[in-house]
């Protein structure tokens, strides 16, 4: 088995640089060394607390324009990794000129987990949204248990359909968003009633947008109305990467996202700090998908997670055998480890309580190579081209940059 602890928590220093100054950052996490988050420092889980406490004094990794700003807008560009931005700076002149640099996201490097850590300010082991698809108790009616199911967190559904009334978001994720400050949230109108919105934005004042231009106008108006913090979310980069991969369409979307940032800077009242962050980066996988070997499938009762961070839930009593067999088959292209090993290595930011620990699988297949491990139950409207979830630098390092209007 690959040594999942070769990078200790905090060993990768990723905060005190300007955009483009990537040579000064230790990016030597390779196939032998996963990028483990620094949950005590330059990590996505600490962004919102740092912004809320920006008047308390500087932090080494907090972009200077945020320090002491009376009002701030935090814009999330879903799916924009540091490596992807740095390789395409000519397409993103506004982002490239902003102060700041790369920080780490959380584990797994996936939207459901990362956005929940961002808004709650805590590690995944604490908030309990442990992946894109995670094991939950299955219920057929309120309070009527019926075994176990896999919850798609972004759709908040199981194989039985909409789970908002059967798997209550507030019971899955109880940590208060934004430390109870209730900032204005500008997000896609269609997200307002989703279970995931209830799980990671509960209590916030939601303002929906249908077109990127309206995101700009609504965020700027909220600042003029006196909002101390406005949180805005834009999913375009992630969506294009998933559907089309890297190429001309991705480049065009990145350029459009950069214009969105420029438009927002121009619209904000003078002195407002605009911070931009992402939840994860991307890896171009394409058709490099790996089906589970029958010897692994025979020892596996359930699959959860996602293609680049696949959890195997063992048949009772087969946990050790499953780890041994999976390591032998996949250890040359993935970090293969048990849940306890990954918790001990600091991947999830602490020891999860029993209610959260049951959501993790017994054995993790965490892709080092540009591959994805298939779950036949995981469907979608199209085959994903770019993916994320693992601990490679391309997925784990994200920009955290800022500028004053």
- Give me the mean pLDDT over the 293-306 stretch: 97
Least confident of 54-68, 100-114, 172-186, 296-310: 54-68
Answer yes or no: is pLDDT of 102 > 90.
Answer: yes
Nearest C-alpha neighbor of 397 from the set 73, 85, 94: 85
- Give me the mean pLDDT over the 372-377 stretch: 92
How many of the other CB atoms lie within 10 Å of CB of 319? Answer: 19
- Give me the mean pLDDT over the 177-196 stretch: 94
SS3 annotation, the chain: CCCCCCCCCCCCCCCCCCCCCHHHCCCCCCCCCCCCCCCCCCEHHHHHHHHHCHHHCCCCCCCHHHCCCCCEEEEEECCCCHHHHHHCHHHCHHHHHCEEEEEECCCCCCHHHHHHHHHHCCCHHHHCCCCCEEEEEEEEECCEEEEEEEEECCCCEECCEECCCCCCHHHHCCCCHHHHCCCEEEEEHHHCCCHHHHHHHCCCEEEEECCHHHHHHHHHHHHHCCCCEEEEEECHHHHHHHHHCCCHHHHHHHHHHHHHHHHHHHHCCCCCEEEEECCCCCEECCCCEECCCHHHHCCEEEEEEECCEEEEEECCCCHHHHHHHHHHHHCCCEEEEEHHHHHHCCCCCCCCCHHHHCCCCCEEEEECCCCEECCCCCCCCCCCCEECCCCCHHHHEEEEEEEEC
Exposed, middle or buried: residue 256 (CB in 10 Å: 0-12, 13-18, 19+)?
middle
Instruction: Provide CB contacts within 8 A for 384, sequence distance 6+.
Output: 242, 243, 285, 307, 372
Residue 138's pLDDT band, with cuts at 50, 70 and 90, is confident
Which residue shows structure tokens 């106008």? 217
List pLDDT tens digits, range 200-223: 999 899 999 999 999 999 999 999
Top-ranked range on mean pLDDT: pick from 54-58, 147-151, 338-342? 338-342
- Give me the mean pLDDT over the 362-385 stretch: 89
What are the structural domains, with CATH classification, of the chain?
Answer: 22-126+174-284+390-404 (3.40.720.10), 127-171 (no CATH), 289-385 (3.30.1360.180)
- Give me the mean pLDDT over the 234-243 stretch: 98
Q: What's the confidence (pLDDT) of residue 183?
A: 95
Would you call the peptide bond into 79 cis, given omega within 30 degrees of 0 as the criterion?
Answer: no
Top-ranked range on mean pLDDT: pick from 5-19, 142-156, 185-199? 185-199
List pLDDT tens digits, range 265-287: 999 999 999 999 999 999 999 99
Answer yes or no: is pLDDT of 146 > 80.
Answer: no
Answer yes or no: is pLDDT of 63 > 90.
Answer: yes
Answer yes or no: is pLDDT of 14 > 70.
Answer: no
The answer to whether residues 350 and 324 touch, using CB atoms and an 8 Å cutoff, is no
pTM for this model (two decimals): 0.90
Q: What's the confidence (pLDDT) of residue 360?
A: 97
The answer to whether residues 119 and 178 touch, using CB atoms and an 8 Å cutoff, is yes
Instruction: Provide CB contacts within 8 A for 187, sequence distance 6+.
Output: 197, 201, 206, 207, 208, 209, 232, 233
- Give me the mean pLDDT over the 227-252 stretch: 98
Q: What's the confidence (pLDDT) of residue 15?
A: 32
Please, how many CA atoms are within 13 Å of residue 70, restricted to the half-sphere of its CB?
Answer: 9
Nearest C-alpha neighbor of 305 from the set 276, 334, 278: 334
Exposed, middle or buried: residue 120 (CB in 10 Å: 0-12, 13-18, 19+)?
buried
Q: What's the confidence (pLDDT) of residue 139?
A: 63
Answer yes or no: is pLDDT of 144 > 60.
Answer: no
Percentage of the chain surpassing pLDDT 90?
81
Answer yes or no: is pLDDT of 353 > 90.
Answer: yes
Phi, psi of 6 (to 5 degrees): -65, -25
Is pLDDT larger for residue 243 or for residue 19?
243
The answer to whether residues 25 and 114 touch, using CB atoms and an 8 Å cutoff, is no
């Amino acid at each position: 088995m690959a040594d999942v602890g070769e990078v200790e928590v905090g060993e990768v220093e990723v905060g005190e640089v300007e955009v483009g100054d990537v040579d000064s950052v230790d990016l030597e996490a390779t196939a032998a060394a996963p990028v483990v988050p620094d949950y005590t420092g330059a990590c996505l889980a600490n962004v919102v607390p740092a912004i809320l406490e920006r008047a308390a004094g500087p932090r080494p990794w907090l972009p200077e324009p945020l320090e002491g700003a009376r009002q701030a807008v935090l814009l999330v560009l879903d799916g924009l990794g540091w490596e992807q931005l740095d390789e395409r700076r000519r397409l993103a002149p506004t982002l490239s000129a902003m102060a700041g640099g790369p920080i780490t996201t959380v584990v797994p490097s996936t939207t459901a987990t990362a956005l929940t850590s961002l808004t709650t300010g805590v590690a995944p082991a604490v908030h309990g949204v442990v992946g894109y698809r995670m094991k939950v108790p299955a219920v057929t009616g309120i309070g009527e248990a019926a075994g176990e199911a896999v919850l798609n967190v972004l759709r908040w559904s199981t194989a039985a359909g909409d789970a908002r009334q059967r798997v209550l978001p507030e019971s899955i994720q109880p940590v208060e968003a934004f430390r109870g400050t209730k900032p204005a949230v500008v997000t896609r109108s269609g997200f307002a009633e989703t279970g995931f919105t209830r799980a990671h934005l509960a209590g916030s004042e939601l303002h929906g947008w249908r077109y990127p231009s309206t995101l700009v106008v609504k965020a700027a108006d909220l600042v003029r109305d006196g909002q101390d913090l406005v949180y805005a979310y834009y999913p375009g980069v992630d969506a294009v990467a998933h559907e089309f991969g890297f190429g001309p369409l991705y480049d065009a979307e990145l350029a459009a996202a950069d214009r969105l940032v420029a438009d927002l800077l121009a619209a904000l009242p003078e002195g407002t700090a605009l911070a931009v962050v992402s939840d994860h980066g991307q890896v171009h996988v394409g058709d490099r998908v790996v089906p589970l070997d029958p010897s692994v499938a025979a020892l596996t009762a359930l699959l959860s997670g996602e293609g680049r961070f696949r959890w195997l839930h063992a048949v009772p009593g087969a946990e050790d055998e499953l780890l041994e067999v999976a390591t032998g088959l996949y250890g040359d292209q993935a970090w293969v480890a048990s849940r306890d090993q990954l918790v001990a290595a600091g991947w999830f930011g602490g020891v999860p309580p029993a209610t959260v620990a049951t959501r993790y699988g017994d054995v993790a297949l965490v892709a080092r190579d540009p591959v994805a491990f298939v779950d036949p139950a995981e469907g979608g409207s199209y085959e994903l081209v770019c993916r994320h979830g693992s601990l490679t630098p391309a997925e784990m390092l994200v920009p955290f940059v800022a500028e004053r209007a």
